[in-house]
Structure 1
Amino acid sequence: MIGSILEWLTSADTWSGDSGLGARLVQHLWYSLLAVVIAAVIAIPLGLWVGHTGRARWLVTLANSLRAVPTLGLLFAVALWLGPKFTSDLAFLIPSVVVLVVLVIPPILSGVYAGVEAVDPAARDAARGMGMTGAEVVRQVEIPNALPLMLSGLRSAFLQVIATATVAAYVGLGGLGRYLIDGLKTGDYVSTAGGALVVSLLALAVDGVLALIQRLVVSPGLTGKASLTRRRGMSAVSAEVASSDGGSPLPETNRRISS
């Protein structure tokens, strides 16, 4: 079975054409990116507002409750409601994107809200004491400090949407889900397993890229790396002083005690 999957993945026929693996991969990424961008436009400002003002925290709870909604059932309901209103491929695209947006709003909103709420109140007070407005406090204090949790929420959203975008194939859309749906229907389990493997690898690759971006844009002071480096440097200096003074970090004190 593994050999058949590898042969399927490396076959030129698998990658060629409008319905080939390359085209399906691009479609899957497009659906996922579109859903995350729309969800971020909604969830990031909302999370900043809730975290900054402390109002309407119930919105975060409500968004998290949406995680319990069955994705496939919601997809069929939205498709039956919105599908007949469109005559083009939008009849398949819009219901799928709506469902994916509902799916990825909770992790983004929770990450932004939790990051802003966790900002040290002393930092906010100091910023206001310097004469910053509320908007300036958000931009220059809260967002930089909340960035690790905000990016963690985005990473979680991408992982969920890439894994779940396969359900779009149930309503006639493309993407990697076609290999799973069509393969199960025709009994082609090699393409089914191959498609599932590609979805998993794609999710891991995207998460790796986002982890690298997070490492580059987040201040080392917020990750603890700066303090760790500083402690190591101080330890190295202490060890060097001790070795140059006969192995005792406090030679004067030792001499006084012995005398």
Structure 2
Amino acid sequence: MTVESATQAIATANRLPDERGRFRILKRFTTPIVVVVVLALLLLWVSSLSLDSIEQRTLNWTYITLRVGEHLSLTVVASALVAVLAIPTGILLSRTRSRALRGTILGIANVGQATPAVGVVILLAIVWQTGYTTALVALVIYAFLPVLRNTMIGLQQVDANVRESARGMGMTPNQVLLRIELPLAVPVILAGLRTSLVFCVGVATIATFINAGGLGDMIVNGLKLQRFPVLVVGAVLVACIALLIDWLAGIAEDLLKPKGI
């Protein structure tokens, strides 16, 4: 190999990390850029329309901000409750030797996931009450299974030799769980939480049927009143929120994942 070709090879090798870094940065910010462009185009389109009095009552900043706030509140609170409830339950089920207990809880969680979301919301409203709390409970029921299942899978896939090595070093079972198993299971658990967040964004749109607010109000009003701009704005906002939440969850997943995994 000549000196010139060796120099060129070294220069190419040095450029590769920089190019990979630029690609990662571009990939990371693709979603918010797309969302901003879509929202800007939506704003331009709505601004060019001649809105009637019914559309003006809905397509204004006060109304949209209120509905977006309600939608985000339902999504974030429900996801937080799912994390608080499903992760400890998954840890318990991964530790128990009772197949009956494991099968019962997984069966109940599967019923919540398999039942259509509208059915869960309406059934709870019939037997209980309408409003925000009922919608929140319905979202928790519907989004519970992915986090529960991923918690169990994440703990079960930890190598048995790693556990034995930790115990051989004198760690107690609780120390093995907190210092070894849970950190190794974090990527799988976070993937389940990410799935639940996106589920909650979509299912929160039907909270409007039980008077719990959210962007579903805009979609339903647009359908009932035959107002196409209202329908489109509501649907696009829900899609953008889902994309942004999934993007934020992906960043959190990268940041919280233990180094070296």
Structure 2 match to 1:80: 126
* Residue number among 67, 88, 96 corresponding to 1:24 in the alignment: 67
Q: After TM superposition, what 4+ stretches of structure 1 lie above 4 angstroms from structure 2?
A: 2-6
d(CA) in 2 for partners of 1:155 and 1:220?
A: 20
d(CA) in 1 for partners of 2:135 and 2:180?
A: 37
* Residue number among 66, 73, 76 corresponding to 1:33 in the alignment: 76
Asked if structure 2 preserves the Cα contact closer than 8 Å seen for 1:9 and 1:194, the reply is: no
Alpha-carbon offset, residue 136 of structure 1: 1.1
Asked if structure 2 preserves the Cα contact closer than 8 Å seen for 1:78 and 1:99, the reply is: yes
d(CA) in 1 for partners of 2:141 and 2:47?
A: 32
> Counterpart amino acid of 1:8?
V
* Residue number among 84, 88, 98 corresponding to 2:137 in the alignment: 98
Equivalent pairs counted in the alignment come to 211
SS at match of 2:170: coil
Instruction: For residues 221-240 of structure 1, give each alpha carbon's deviation from its aligned partner in whole angstroms, at most 9, with x where no partner exists.
Output: 22xxxxxxxxxxxxxxxxxx
d(CA) in 1 for partners of 2:220 and 2:71?
A: 14
> Counterpart amino acid of 1:166?
T
Structure 2 match to 1:71: 117
Q: 1:9 to 1:152 in 2, by over 3 A?
A: farther
TM-score under structure 1 length normalisation: 0.75
> Counterpart amino acid of 1:97?
L
d(CA) in 2 for partners of 1:28 and 1:146?
A: 30
Asked if structure 1 preserves the Cα contact closer than 8 Å seen for 2:219 and 2:231, the reply is: yes
d(CA) in 1 for partners of 2:195 and 2:47?
A: 27
Ranked by relative contact order (alpha carbons within 8 Å, sequence separation 6 or more), the top structure is 2
Asked if structure 2 preserves the Cα contact closer than 8 Å seen for 1:5 and 1:194, the reply is: no
Alpha-carbon offset, residue 67 of structure 1: 1.5
TM-score under structure 2 length normalisation: 0.75
Residue range with higher mean Cα deviation, 141-150 or 69-78: 69-78
d(CA) in 1 for partners of 2:227 and 2:174?
A: 56
Alignment of 1:235-250 (within 5 A): none
d(CA) in 2 for partners of 1:151 and 1:206?
A: 13
Alpha-carbon offset, residue 48 of structure 1: 1.2
Give the superposed CA RMSD.
Answer: 2.2
* Residue number among 70, 89, 96 corresponding to 1:46 in the alignment: 89
> Counterpart amino acid of 1:132?
M
Instruction: For residues 196-255 of structure 1, give each alpha carbon's deviation from its aligned partner in whole angstroms, at most 9, with x where no partner exists.
Output: 111111111011111111111112422xxxxxxxxxxxxxxxxxxxxxxxxxxxxxxxxx
SS at match of 2:164: helix
Alpha-carbon offset, residue 15 of structure 1: 4.1
Structure 2 unaligned spans of 5+: 1-38, 50-55
Q: Identity over aligned residues, as a percent?
A: 29
Instruction: For residues 165-222 of structure 1, give each alpha carbon's deviation from its aligned partner in whole angstroms, at most 9, with x where no partner exists.
Output: 0000011121111111111111112211221111111111011111111111112422
* Residue number among 217, 231, 234 corresponding to 2:256 in the alignment: 217
Structure 1 unaligned spans of 5+: 84-90, 223-259
d(CA) in 2 for partners of 1:109 and 1:53?
A: 14
Q: 1:10 to 1:165 in 2, by over 3 A?
A: farther
